Amino acid sequence: MTFKNKVIWITGASSGIGKGLALELSKLDCKLILSSRNKEQLQKVQESCKNPENIKLLPFDLAHYANMVQVTDDALKLFERIDILINNGGISQRSPIIETSIDVDKKLMEIDYLGTVALSKALLPHFVANQSGQYVVVSSLMGKFSSPLRSAYCGAKHALHGFFDALRLEHDKDNIKVTMICPGFVNTDVARNALTADGSKQGYQDDMTENGLQVDIFVKRMLNAIRKEKYEAYIGKFEKFGVFVKRLSPRLLHKLILRSKVK
């Protein structure tokens, strides 16, 4: 698969991985729709991109998942079609289960799961009509195994795998592809913006995120996985091997994570 002449819609495009994808894809012969809640930040990303005339902005909030049919209609009017939807928008969480308000669990599910699912379902008739389309879902290694202090985040990411594996099976006949991207630690603001037990932002970076892959390196590996239409891609440093350790021995992975003192 090539990105040439494709229309690519990226959510969570105002910072981090989404911004990195926009910068890299703007160098190629394709058109982009950039979305996030923050219009001003989207404008700054657009200004930083190559060929900004091939980029349209569509701000919206994933938490308002009841609005996704209208949002999708608005997106389709921009370039008259969409070939790839990169579901990148979302938030994380850092807090012990026993202290975490159920409202935090609800918010993570609304944004990371229901918002993504509602948007993808709204676009599905367009993909079916064209008998073509690719969903790219930025999940996490935490969608394959869990670690402490991320219970709501892990739950939402695990749910994404269940939904999109079913979508891939149902619409194989329609030539619709699904690529699940599972990042490990990437040096973005995800930890700073993570919700704590009461729903407030953590506000600081953690060492493992700080020492994770740089965004530009991650994005190149992610785009390679999208080109190859991989079902799943695990992108990180040593932490990505947790997926394979869990297959071998969930008990061993449990012990290794406890010893690593992940925070």
Catalytic residue among 65, 153, 204, 231: 153
User: Is 204 a known active-site residue?
Assistant: no
| Residues 115/89, Cβ–Cβ less than 8 Å | yes
Nearest to 17 by CA among 197, 236, 227: 236
Catalytic residue IDs = 153
